[in-house]
Amino acid sequence: MEDHDILLKFQDPASRNLAFNQLVRKYQSKVYWHVRKMVIDHDDADDLTQDVFIKVWKHLENFRQDAALFTWIYRIATNECLNFLSSKRRKFLLPLTDVGAELAAKIEADPALAGDEIELKLQQAILRLPDKQRLVFNLRYYDEMPYEQMAEVTGTSVGALKASYHHAVKKVEEYVTRNTAD
Amino acid sequence: MKPSFKLDEHPRRPRPLLSEPPAGYFDQLPMRVMARLPQAEAREAATGWGWLARLSPALRTGLASVAVLGGFAASFYLSGPQAAGPAGVAATSLDAVPRTELVGYLLTSGARVDNSDLVVLTAADPNLTDDFLHASEAELTEALDAQPSEDPTYL
């Protein structure tokens, strides 16, 4: 179902639940993996993904359609992730690097990465980036999102996003080079 | 020398190599989300009063003050004329009745206006009874003295 049809059906109380169910089915995988890349842990990603869709439900009536529906959902998901990570730091009084180390430990324990040293180091390097730079890296490198759309999601200028991604790539390459065996 | 790692030369994946969510996760997720949605009544209530919640706290306080003051003003406006109305009408109607007829009614009806009431009225203000009661000073004094002493009104 197209976004336009989903939004039309959502306006009608009789078909609202059906339309929202379609919306969740359409975007659940993208939202989940966007969140999962940021918080790494499946249970955290599961909770946050549900929270994202609850927020979408609450505010969809006021969605003005001056952005694509998915860009708007992505923005909600991004804010949820950044709030989650920053509240985690505040709650446990952890510095930036400790949360990165915690996420890196989860990556190391993930069986999917066993035996792939370069991929493991790459993930560790990505997790050492500050949250917002990591977000920019994920959107560009994994999702291959155009900078203009990234600007809508993050509320940052295209120029700033390009610079942030360039620096992120440099940091990642240096870390992997330094930490892999010859 | 160790070769430097180049991200462009590394095989790009659509996402990091993380373990997949449990089997059937995406089949169940929509149901779990739908089960957590706010109740319909709450949504309707929020729709009805949502505009109030979206106002700034200062504006909400101002609006509440205006509502309270408006309520006072409305109740004052509505109660004033209505309370005064029936009494005013009654007074106007009584003015149209000749005084002798009024006195005759009071003396013959069950209102029980007797001599003692008239004497007390004359003692309070002789002008009130000038038109219809022509009693001497001695008669008035006698009637006043005849008031029962056990009546608490005069004790």
pLDDT of residue A133: 95
Contact A177 B5 (CB under 8 A): yes
Closest by Cα among A81, A79, A43 to A59: A79
Provide the mean pLDDT of chain A.
Answer: 88
Q: What is the mean pLDDT of residues B129-146?
A: 80
Question: B116 exposed, middle or buried (CB, 10 Å; 0-12, 13-18, 19+)?
Answer: middle
A-chain residues within 8 Å CB-CB of B13? 142
pLDDT digits (tens, 9 = 90+) for B18-58: 889 999 999 999 999 999 988 654 555 555 566 666 677 77
> Of A120, A135, A145, nearest to A168 (Cα)?
A135
What pLDDT does A34 receive? Answer: 95
Question: By the 8 A CB rule, do A38 and A44 touch?
Answer: no
Residue A97: predicted pLDDT: 54
C-alpha–C-alpha distance, residues B48 and A23, integer Å? 25
User: What pLDDT shows up at residue B41?
Assistant: 46
Contact present, A93 and A73 (Cβ < 8 Å):
no
Q: What pLDDT is recorded for position A26? A: 96
Higher pLDDT, A121 or B143: A121
Per CB-CB distance under 8 Å, the chain A contacts of B26 are 28-29, 32
Residue B88 has pLDDT above 60, yes or no: no
- Of all residues in chain B, what percent carry a pLDDT higher than 90? 12
Instruction: Check whether B150 has a pLDDT greater than 90.
Output: no
Q: Does B134 touch chain A (CB under 8 A)?
A: no
- Choice between A180 and A164, residue whose per-residue pLDDT is larger: A164
Q: Is the pLDDT of residue B80 over 70?
A: no
- Cβ of B21 within 8 Å of Cβ of A42? The answer is yes
Inter-residue contact A131 to A38 (CB < 8 Å):
yes
pLDDT of the residue at B49: 62
Say yes or no: B10 contacts chain A, CB-CB below 8 A: yes
Residues 38-77 on B with a CB inside 8 Å of A are 38, 47
Q: Tell me what pLDDT residue A24 has.
A: 96
Tell me if A27 sits within 8 A of A75, measured CB to CB.
no
Q: Is the confidence at residue A179, as pLDDT, over 70?
A: yes
ipTM for this model: 0.83
Half-sphere exposure of A172 (CA within 13 A, CB side): 26
| pLDDT tens by residue, A55-100 | 999 999 888 777 799 999 999 999 999 999 988 877 666 555 566 6
pLDDT for residue A94: 57
CB-facing half-sphere around the CA of A14: CA atoms within 13 A? 0
User: How near does any CA of chain B get to the CA of A122, in Å?
Assistant: 9
Interchain CB distance below 8 Å, A142 and B14: yes
Interface residues from chain A to B (CB-CB < 8 Å): 17, 20-21, 24-25, 28-29, 32-33, 36-37, 40, 42, 45-46, 49-50, 53-54, 57-58, 61, 107, 110-113, 116, 118-119, 122-123, 126, 141-142, 169, 172-173, 176-177, 180, 182
d(CA A150, CA A164): 12
What value does the mean pLDDT of chain B take?
Answer: 75
Confidence of residue A113 (pLDDT cuts 50, 70, 90): low
pLDDT attached to residue B89 = 60
Per the CB < 8 A criterion, the answer to whether B143 and B154 are in contact is no
